[in-house]
Amino acid sequence: MPNPTAAMLVIGDEILSGRTRDANMHYLAGQLTEMGIDLKEVRVVSDDREAIITSVQALSANYAHVFTSGGIGPTHDDITADCIAAAFGVHIDVRADARALLQAHYDRSGLELNAARLRMARIPDGAELIDNPVSTAPGFSLGNVHVMAGVPSVFTAMVASVLPKLTGGAPLLSRTLRLFKAEGDIAGPLGAFADAYPDLSVGSYPFQKDGIYGSNIVVRGSDPERLDMAMANLEAQFPA
What character string, x for contact with a second copy (CB under 8 A) and - otherwise, covers 43-82? xxxxx---x---------------------xxxxx-----
Distances (CA, A) of 148 to 8, 108, 198: 11, 23, 36
Restricting to residues 132-161, name those near a second copy by CB under 8 A. Answer: 151, 153
Closest residue by Cα to residue 51 from 63, 29, 26, 68 = 68
Give the total residue count for the chain.
Answer: 240
21 binds a second copy per the rule CB under 8 A: yes
Q: Identify which of residues 125 and 235 has a Cβ nearer to a second copy in the complex.
A: 235
25 binds a second copy per the rule CB under 8 A: yes
Count of residues engaged in binding a second copy, rule: CB under 8 A: 67
**Rounded Cα–Cα distance for residues 112 and 120 (Å):** 13
Which of 40, 49, 165, 178 binds a second copy (CB under 8 A)? It is 40
H or E stretch at 101: helix 96-109
**3-state DSSP percent of the chain in helix, strand and coil, to 5:** 40, 25, 30
Q: Identify which of residues 129 and 134 has a Cβ nearer to a second copy in the complex.
A: 134
CB contact set of 134 (below 8 Å; sequence gap of 6+): 153, 154, 157
Residues that bind a second copy (CB under 8 A): 10, 13-22, 25-33, 39-47, 51, 73-77, 111, 114-117, 119-120, 151, 153, 172, 174, 182-188, 190-191, 194-195, 201-206, 208, 215, 218, 220
